[in-house]
Structure 1
């Protein structure tokens, strides 16, 4: 017999935990299904030196401040510890080791979720909270498949020591690409290969972190601000001035994207060739929502969620939390997932008219 719940939340990282907290605050009894044996989502798998791009005071999930210096920038391990503590304090049914294989609809308009070990759970509402960072994106670059050097994704990178003395080309110009490049440059010769010039954004404006200004000016949630902040020309890199200064020294340097890879060579846009030991792809991630493939029109042809603000365009009881630019610049970040979870759950409740959910909750 299938276990029944008010809300099934797929994913136990920051998005899933924020959604569970919000669901409890709305009077529901959520069940969280996490594939891994522990929580914290992708955070334990990021590189060792990763730090947040927003200060602790702007990096909390709903209901629990981030500990430590409110103006400091938490490390990867501090984020993992925070998420573990957050989960321990949640009054919710959180199940690790439960990898979701598929989601289907039931005859009564609800959803049936099947895990890898055959367990079946049912709920009127399902939230896909596996986020934007569970599936590394590896672009089809010319010659990449036959490159005889080492090819890594930034998801595989941990620390600089294994790259000492090597020639490394990093593909990508976002925050992680630049942070890794700066770190590697201490022991290796590093180039950032990008399609557009790097776009630096000051980390602090008038002595305050730029995320504060995003919130106060409304840029965080203004739809018209996305072209301003992305411009179709790459992700802004948060910088106190250190990154720009390091790149100005020439190691790491930035070059226009290479035309192809050939053997162990990188062939640059001007036709010059250079031997490279490592190509590191800092090319982002894609949502890991393959378990929704059986729901008609839940995903587009590229496998990305079809949604508006995190609310499915095709299924009235399906929502998403943790997607980049889901509703704002802060979506998919610690400080943004709480607001998105509240928006999605409120919209789904209104859309479904609380079809029996509230009644079950009161029992």
Structure 2
């Protein structure tokens, strides 16, 4: 079929779909979708992100939104590169038509993306997925580049920047807590959206949240998947970004993006919120000086995960060797130099544990990994292949982000479920070796791999870069299905009564939720009003992140590079809408 026929198919469907929304023809709207089709909405019908499956639920959602006739209009195809209508596979054994589109509302410019599949029973093209999102509020569009010449070429840029810094430091509209990749992406987005924001970061330097991790750490996703917003990596950048390179990249990114940041700074207990003035009173410890600010919004971007989770081990104080949580693991040489021997027990079987075990084994330690529950283990090379299909290196990141987020996560799960036999076959040799070594291995929810575990649990998996071979060959031992219950000076005893000699312990036991950690700062009364953070709600949308939390003026920004790159726009639009009186709090 020709490209013209793809355009014809898309044009006809979009014309009908736009007409149904213009007149609020719910019967016609229902006919636009397959029986298991999805509508994903971000801020168009409600000031939130929602997803509904099936014509009946989609129609009920539109009814509940109280959409008025003649509200959504001017539907047209987006014929730019990467968004023009095209034929291609939509799922295993089925091809269809995918395309971008544009529309307007009385207050916003919108964008969307649809995937159509021919309904063979009616010979009508219907939607498998439709994504609709606010792209910009009219009159408050995301800014492009400045001219770079100020006041007729009479004022230096450094003076302009210093004046902007002074205004923001005196009266920030938003306070962003956390200067890692998430906080920086959000701050960059806010800057383009004319939302004055100040970032406070507890570390001395931007990037220290990475520099403090173990030396061999590299991101296990390919570089096309983890650039920062607005600023791609150079062509020679490593496929898997090492710890120190990402740390230094974040530091220069903050400078290049003109972000206003206080290092060595953190909020102190207990901020208060004035419901009448709709402002916070929050005191920041800035390098020892207490500074009180009154932002209208606080964005918590300190990471999805909070404080390290430390298991309770009876008589742990008797253990003579070093005990280190993985968050403080500084490498094999540093740990072994503190130990009287080389017998190391590593508790946990996720990504970090695998990296640490591999590092210790390579440096001559006798390593036992304690796997307490089943783990999804897949090869990093296989994950790279899958991610580079969704994030091709030669396609702009913003394009890949838009297309990825146009798909509800349950729809992606459905696609992966159709591939589960192939996914399992690809990992069979790796996983069989681990099972023979005594590990309990799975292929993720419904055999879909690690992908959904990222969003459901942010754990329970590892992407293998060599640890599996060390386990399969017996170089790394496995203790499976039990917790450490108690310790002596040089042994650990498990719940089943067995013991292991140990000279050092590494606890790769994960972290508590950011919501619980922030109770130390904001108090229970405030945090109890917020929703759960991370995991998926009943519609397959992320809980508590980049959407209203239940407490006015308090937001969570969580997830990896992808989440903050894309969803920072949603958060910026929500805050701007509140400022303009369009969204109620």
Give 1:83 shift: 0.2
Structure showing the higher helix proportion among its residues:
2
Give 1:76 shift: 0.5
Counterpart in the other structure of 2:278? 109
Secondary structure class of the residue paired with 1:293: helix
Secondary structure class of the residue paired with 1:250: coil
Counterpart in the other structure of 2:332? 160
Counterpart in the other structure of 2:156? none
Distance in 1 (alpha carbons) for counterparts of 2:473 and 2:386: 26
Counterpart in the other structure of 1:27? 194
Secondary structure class of the residue paired with 1:204: helix
- Which of 289, 311, 316 aligns to 2:547? It is 311
More displaced stretch, 246-255 vs 283-292: 283-292
Distance in 2 (alpha carbons) for counterparts of 1:297 and 1:100: 15
Q: After superposition, give the CA deviation of every residue in 1:18-49 in whole Å (9 maximum; x if it has no partner).
A: 11001012121211112222112511110111
Distance in 1 (alpha carbons) for counterparts of 2:279 and 2:194: 19
Counterpart in the other structure of 2:470? 246
Cα gap change, 1:235 to 1:56, in 2 (>3 Å) = same
Identify which of structures 1 and 2 has the higher relative contact order when contacts are C-alpha pairs closer than 8 Å and 6+ apart. 1
**Correspondences of 1:319-358 after superposition (within 5 Å):** 319-322=555-558, 331=559, 333-350=560-577, 352-355=578-581
Give 1:259 shift: 4.3
**Correspondences of 1:211-222 after superposition (within 5 Å):** 212-213=389-390, 222=409
Q: After superposition, give the CA deviation of every residue in 1:264-320 in whole Å (9 maximum; x if it has no partner).
A: 32224543322211111011223242464247342479x975962343433221111
- State whether residues 34 and 96 of structure 1, in contact with CA within 8 Å, keep that contact through their aligned partners in structure 2: yes
RMSD of aligned residue pairs (Cα, Å): 3.3
- State whether residues 549 and 555 of structure 2, in contact with CA within 8 Å, keep that contact through their aligned partners in structure 1: no
Distance in 2 (alpha carbons) for counterparts of 1:221 and 1:284: 27
Counterpart in the other structure of 2:12? none
Distance in 1 (alpha carbons) for counterparts of 2:216 and 2:498: 33
- Which of 58, 62, 81 aligns to 2:225? It is 58
Secondary structure class of the residue paired with 2:409: coil
Cα gap change, 1:180 to 1:62, in 2 (>3 Å) = same
Q: After superposition, give the CA deviation of every residue in 1:166-194 in whole Å (9 maximum; x if it has no partner).
A: 11111111111001101101210001102
Secondary structure class of the residue paired with 2:369: strand
Q: What is the number of residues matched between the two proteins?
A: 344
Cα gap change, 1:218 to 1:87, in 2 (>3 Å) = closer
Secondary structure class of the residue paired with 1:21: helix
Distance in 2 (alpha carbons) for counterparts of 1:234 and 1:146: 31
Distance in 2 (alpha carbons) for counterparts of 1:336 and 1:195: 29
Q: Residue 289 in 1 paired to residue 289 in 2?
A: no
- Which of 75, 90, 113 aligns to 2:242? It is 75
More displaced stretch, 200-209 vs 224-233: 224-233
Counterpart in the other structure of 1:328? none
Cα gap change, 1:213 to 1:71, in 2 (>3 Å) = farther
Distance in 1 (alpha carbons) for counterparts of 2:239 and 2:298: 35
- Which of 90, 108, 119 aligns to 2:291? It is 119
- Which of 463, 486, 489 aligns to 1:261? It is 486
- State whether residues 171 and 282 of structure 1, in contact with CA within 8 Å, keep that contact through their aligned partners in structure 2: yes
TM-score in terms of structure 1 length: 0.83
Counterpart in the other structure of 2:380? 203
More displaced stretch, 337-346 vs 84-93: 337-346
Secondary structure class of the residue paired with 1:344: helix
Secondary structure class of the residue paired with 2:183: helix
Secondary structure class of the residue paired with 1:169: strand
Gaps of 5+ in 2: 1-168, 392-399, 414-443, 447-451, 535-542
Distance in 2 (alpha carbons) for counterparts of 1:64 and 1:292: 33
